[in-house]
A and B are shown apart, each in its own frame.
Chain A
Amino acid sequence: MSVIIFAETRDQQYKKSTLEAVSYGKEVAQKTGGKVIAVSMGGASDAASLGNYGADEVITLHGAEFATFSPEVYASAFAEVCKTHGGKTIIISNTYSGKSISGRVAVLLQGALATNVVDYPDTTSGFRVKRGVFSGKAFAYVDMQSDVKVIAITPNSVEIKTHGTSASVSAHQPTGLPTSATKIESTQTVSGKIPLTEAEIVVSAGRGMKGPENWNMVEDLATALGAATACSKPVSDMHWRPHSEHVGQTGITIKPNLYIAIGISGAIQHLAGVSSSKVIVVVNKDAEAPFFKAADYGIVGDAFEVLPKLIQAAKASATS
């Protein structure tokens, strides 16, 4: 019996969400017993380092099949390792890649699936997880009843814990992999930018910014804070910003430590996607804007006056 983690990398480095997933796996193993095994595909520069976050073993899978991400191939190879090593609790990050494989892995292992999980499980009787539902407007407690449990955890949901240990690393050559039917023609990634769903700090702006030409201020503040940028739905509908930045009920649901909303009114559909943020700051010129009711800190003021001062203060704060 073991806890198995799908370890994702970006540029050969483990993602922060992977470290969270390993920490989660360690916590589960402390409750249910068993080894913590991380499975690393497509190459990572320092596999043994996952030991520090709680992995006992790291299994690496190499080969041309893993050079690009294919949900069928990755899910099959990962499920095979899970079977070989008696994986009972399977932890995957709820990133785009994680979401692409979690359903397939659950089917291959005939396990129960819970996505969008936001907290450690309660194992006092059975195995109960907490997941976000209604786009952040509520949570559900779900009893996972099958022997094998596939859990996809939302980035930024649990703290990373370190143990100061190192993991043993071994290579595995999967057999009987499907050949990928899909072929990647081209990939376009924004390098050096933190993906919105994984960001700890998000600076977001709405229609109050008046036009796309004013977004340099939003970006400057984000840069000063090391944040990702987001926007309200009308802003992406009008193509002021790409749709991938649209947060809310019909956009992305995010859960950063800090969400700064500038010139956003705080409509129920917007709040749905961001209300799980740990701390919310609202800047709005209208003191009656509904967003203030959902905020921890607020500034009533014109964004065009407040932002330059805020950027300056953030820059000064970063260097102090």
Chain B
Amino acid sequence: MKVLVCMSVVPDTTTKITFTNSDTSFNTQGVQFIMNPYDELALTKALDIADPAGGSVTILHVGPADAEPAIRKALSMGATEAVRINAAPTDAQFVAEQIAAYAKDKGFDFILTGRESIDYNGGAVCGLLGAMLNLPSINVITQLGVSGQTATIERDIDGGREIVSCPLPFVASAQKDLCEPRIPNMRGIMAARTKPLQIIEPVSGANHVNYSKFELPQPKQGVRMISAENPEELLHLLRNEAKVI
């Protein structure tokens, strides 16, 4: 059993987002970077399946060297080895091309990503990888079990849930409810220090999109308070002033 888990490294969820260089780049000053929360779920599930089968889990990140603390965290959670593709991730398509180029001849039984990265929110890498590797792609999964050459998967669909079966190999993206994220223990942290971290150079990829500018949402005008004794007034305002009901 060989599993690949793709990891993005994102600003901590408490980060107040600001931009620099005339709003053309994200201001990383003072920002703490963490492993994308959905990728923690993907890794945990991969380990839960691969460990009892005596398999291996490779954690893969496309990005510069400052991601290494997050990569070490993944290794301390239990990943067997890590690979970092040494390139600045410009967009989801570039990232997926890098991952596909790496994974195509490695014989992974399945590949997991997160549902989305909480910074760029593309939710795109899973489907892109599926098409690039010509594998089925199953988005937003909440349960995964592998038996022999078949996986049974529960996933979110619009307005409900669905259970699908799928032969190995496949690509899937982890959604909340898949599992509780593993917390690294002392032994894991010690072991992570000596686990292999391979650094490879990127392949050249197409440049489909370019992030030209960022913007913060318009601040609210200020709140209008309504007496708790008079909810009719709220309904009246929502209907006649805000016109949303």
A residues sitting closer than 8 Å to B (CB atoms) are 10, 69, 71-72, 75, 95-97, 99-104, 106-108, 110-116, 128, 130-146, 180-190, 193-195, 197-198, 200-201, 225, 236, 243-244, 246, 249-251, 253, 257-258, 268-269, 272, 275-276, 278-282, 292-302, 305-306, 309-310, 312-314, 316-317
Contacts and interface: CB of A to CB of B under 8 A. Distances in A.
Contacts of A200: 244
> Which of A101, A131, A250, A301 has most B Cβ within 10 Å?
A250
A134 B120 CA distance: 6
A59 B124 CA distance: 26
Nearest to B239: A317
Contacts of B238: 258, 279, 281, 297
Nearest to A185: B163
Contacts of A269: 13-14
A97 B118 contact: no
Nearest to B217: A275
Contacts, number: 273
A147 B231 CA distance: 53
A201 B215 contact: no
A185 B225 contact: no
B9 interface: no
B224 A99 contact: no
A96 B130 contact: no
Contact of A298 (B16, B136, B160, B225): B225
Contacts of A75: 127, 131
A103 B96 contact: yes
Contacts of A275: 217
6 contacts: A99-B140, A103-B124, A138-B216, A144-B208, A187-B157, A187-B161
Contacts of A316: 232, 235
Contacts of A298: 223-226
B228 A299 contact: yes
Nearest to B131: A107
A137 B17 contact: yes
A133 B119 contact: yes
Nearest to A189: B160
A104 B158 contact: no
Given A113-B208, A246-B176, 14 more contacts: A104-B130, A104-B131, A106-B93, A106-B128, A115-B123, A116-B122, A134-B17, A145-B209, A182-B138, A189-B160, A243-B142, A243-B176, A297-B234, A317-B236
A184 B128 CA distance: 21
A141 B239 contact: no
A244 B156 contact: yes
A299 B212 contact: no
A168 to B, nearest CB: 28
Nearest to A129: B209
Given A103-B126, A134-B11, A279-B244, A313 B215 contact: no
A183 B164 CA distance: 5
Contacts of A114: 209
B3 interface: no
B65 interface: no
B220 A296 contact: yes
Given A96-B156, A108-B131, A268-B14, A305 B124 contact: no
